[in-house]
Amino acid sequence: MDADLLDAVRDALAYAYAPYSGFPVAAALRAANGKIYTGVNVENASYPEGVCAETSAISAMVTDGERSIVEIAVAGSGDDILTPCGGCRQRLREFARAEVAVHACGPEGWRQSFVLGDLLPNAFTPAHLK
């Protein structure tokens, strides 16, 4: 993965708001317009109201008028490989083709790359509603 996406996701990690889980997460989305949109998990004292980093990044992208993701990076603070949760795989697939790369990163850098279609095979997509 290119350094700009890696830098973006690592920089964002510092802004995660995860006082309850203690598990900061950041996401960076490269969009078709060439911009990178970042987001972090934002937890809440009412636990179910928290949102994932990927969801925050998607909101930033859509609010900017963009709806096409061409590359995805996520970063967690733990030692394990972090891939998007099930709900976020579905949210990402709304705006990203199955072929889009998902890079799992950590504070130290890139760890492993996946393909969104492998993380969410045979997905339900907007095409089903046409």
Of the candidates 54, 66, 94, 108, the residue annotated as catalytic is 54
71 in contact with ligand THU (CB under 6 A): no
Let me know: does 94 contact 125? Beta carbons within 8 Å. yes
Task: Decide: 49 and 24 in contact? Cβ < 8 Å.
Answer: no
Question: Binder to ligand THU among 29, 36, 88, 119 (CB under 6 A)?
Answer: 88
Residue 52 lies near ligand THU (rule: CB under 6 A): yes
How is the beta sheet containing 69-76 ordered, strand by strand?
Answer: 36-40, 25-31, 69-76, 96-106, 109-115
Q: Which residues bind ligand THU (CB under 6 A)?
A: 18, 21, 23, 25, 41, 43, 50, 52-54, 84-85, 88
